[in-house]
Structure 1
Amino acid sequence: MWGKVLGFCFGFMFGKFIGALLGLYLGHMFDRSLKQDFDKAGGFSGLFKGDDINERQALFFSSCFAVMGHIAKSNGRVSETHIRAASLFMDEMGLSGDERREAQDAFRSGKESDFSLKETVHDFKERFARRHDLLQLFLEIQIQMAFSDGHLAEQEKQLLQEVSKQLGISRTQFAFLLKRYQAEFAFRQQQQRFYEQQRQQSQQNRSSHSEQRGHSVPPNNGMNRAQALALLGLNSDASARDIKVAYRKLMAQHHPDKLVSQGLPKHMMEVAVKKSQDIQAAYEYLKKAA
């Protein structure tokens, strides 16, 4: 309706009655075209369903697990370590029921001999072309899968480089992400040992009923300046300003809410949360050590 009204008014202003009739006709054509497009989008309900977001999240979900499965089988067979890593990843995401089966199906599809890595990553890149942070997180997740056994095999590295190339990520940036994840992996391993030591110490204290309980010095989690800098992607000569800039950039790239709004499945928000926590821990350590 508004097309007709505005068309009539503007037409009358510039062409009196003949202009008004022409404007009315053009407004009618505009209204009809707009309605067709609006109906295709689902009418008013389409404004609230977030169909585009849902489609992007579904594509991210399926592509991510399919490529993970493909990388896991790069050595000819999927090891128990990779299967356990995929299962733990699903646990972290809280997947169960149909959602977990969909993830498992996607993972298995990536292991098939006819799986096309190039086509899958190309379709993913086309859908998320302007969302660099999501493209980078996608690659980081694949690096995490390849590195799940603490070792990056040459076949895995070649596939990761291919994925990186297809996503439009440079070799320099790929090397940067790989180095960062190695530091992240080492940090998480140390954290696990740290919490295991705390748990064992707590059990010993309870069993001995020690009066010094609560006053013992907790074990060191092992983080040092070199590791904290590596986790932020920095070298040993980084200045305080370099540290702050790197921290802010990495936190912006891994902000969970922003990534979800761009198409990251909500189940995968935990991935971004954990990366943000690691980045925060490294930054806090460097601030205190300064």
Structure 2
Amino acid sequence: MSYRGRLLGALIGFFLPIPFGTILGFILGWALYDNPRNKLAENAGSAGYAFKFTKGYNETLIYGTFALLGYVARGGGIIKREQILIATQCMNMMKLDDPESRRKAQEAFNHGKGENFNLDLETTKLKAAVGRNAGVISYLLEILVQMALADAVVEQEEHRRLCEIAQRLGVPVTAMERLIQIRIAEMQFRRGFYGYSGQTDSGHERSSQEESRTSQEASASSLSDAYRILGVSENASWDEVRKAHKRLMLKYHPDRLKSQGVPEEMIRTYTEKAKDIQAAFDCIKRARGEKN
């Protein structure tokens, strides 16, 4: 819980030449700073717990999530093994441990990928269950993008369905597009920055000339993806790059996520994102020759 606004407000009010300045500053600090921040923290915390299948769980949210996972997965055509794995990981994250709860999740997934799935009806139910908690919507969209990227490619129909879902949940298409592009950039950056190999697909060693050219291409691609991960343009100032890095690292810091009640499984996912963010920042830093 934040008290900073009230403390600063009271301190400033103390030095103002008006009656009851301290009290007025205290009230304004609460209204303009502490109250909004405390509400955001409360929403973020409840967002994490909302996806846990425990006593008092939100069954509508759980069912709706798996139905939408099925809907997105079906957009890529035949359901693939990688997509089933994502759905299983979501069950584990939500603590769907008993056979009955897992059966319901599978039923919802199959319903979502069916021809008669009513997206309007399901998203209306979800919006009623979630209310104004933007944190829950944010987590849900993250999960859906993971499903679309299960096979490392977002098909055109998967992309359309993601944007369609976002719109119906009150999220601008531009925000959904940005989320998709950032996740793709993270995946490509991982592949180029960590996964470069000196071998061809057939297993034969490359010539030193081929290896040098491929390495340079991978480096250029990684740098471009690094900027996309931080959400800044390649022409951004170094100060803008540093601020974006700091903001994202704070957002995905494990201690901060734990304090908000985010499930352990999701914290592990976000910890990997934090590693990508740091690696992207280091990549840009080296490319620019910056020292700090």
* TM-score, scaled to structure 1: 0.59
Judge conservation of contact 1:65–1:103 (CA < 8 Å) in 2: yes
> 1:233-280 CA distances to partner (integer Å, 9 max, x unpaired)?
222111112212222333344445555665644433322222222222
C-alpha distance in 2 between matches for 1:273 and 1:232: 15
**1:101–1:259 Cα change, 3 Å:** farther
Q: Which has the larger radius of gyration?
A: 1
Tell me, yes or no, if structure 1 residue 247 matches structure 2 residue 242.
Answer: no
Tell me, yes or no, if structure 1 residue 234 matches structure 2 residue 229.
Answer: no
1:23-34 paired onto structure 2 within 5 Å: none
C-alpha distance in 1 between matches for 2:172 and 2:131: 15
Tell me how far 1:81 sits from its aligned partner. 4.0
- Mind listing any 5+ residue stretches in structure 2 that lack a counterpart? 1-44, 199-214
The size of the alignment, in residue pairs, is 219
Judge conservation of contact 2:48–2:261 (CA < 8 Å) in 1: yes
- Quick one: percent identity of the two aligned structures? 30
**1:117–1:102 Cα change, 3 Å:** same
Letter of the 1:164 partner, please give it.
A
Tell me how far 1:120 sits from its aligned partner. 3.1
1:147-166 paired onto structure 2 within 5 Å: 147-166=149-168
> 1:8-53 CA distances to partner (integer Å, 9 max, x unpaired)?
xxxxxxxxxxxxxxxxxxxxxxxxxxxxxxxxxxxxxxxxxx9997
Judge conservation of contact 2:252–2:271 (CA < 8 Å) in 1: yes
- Mind listing any 5+ residue stretches in structure 1 that lack a counterpart? 1-49, 198-218
Tell me how far 1:184 sits from its aligned partner. 0.9
Aligned equivalent of 2:84: 83
C-alpha distance in 2 between matches for 1:129 and 1:287: 42
Aligned residue among 269, 273, 276 for 2:274: 276
C-alpha distance in 1 between matches for 2:266 and 2:173: 26
Tell me how far 1:155 sits from its aligned partner. 1.5
Tell me how far 1:69 sits from its aligned partner. 1.5
Aligned equivalent of 2:222: 224
| Higher-helix-fraction structure | 1
Tell me how far 1:176 sits from its aligned partner. 1.5
1:44-123 paired onto structure 2 within 5 Å: 54-55=49-50, 57-58=52-53, 59=58, 61-75=62-76, 77-87=78-88, 89-90=89-90, 93=93, 97-98=97-98, 103-123=105-125
Aligned equivalent of 1:202: none
C-alpha distance in 1 between matches for 2:47 and 2:134: 18
Letter of the 1:57 partner, please give it.
K
User: Match of 1:282, SS?
Assistant: helix
CA RMSD of aligned residues (A): 3.9
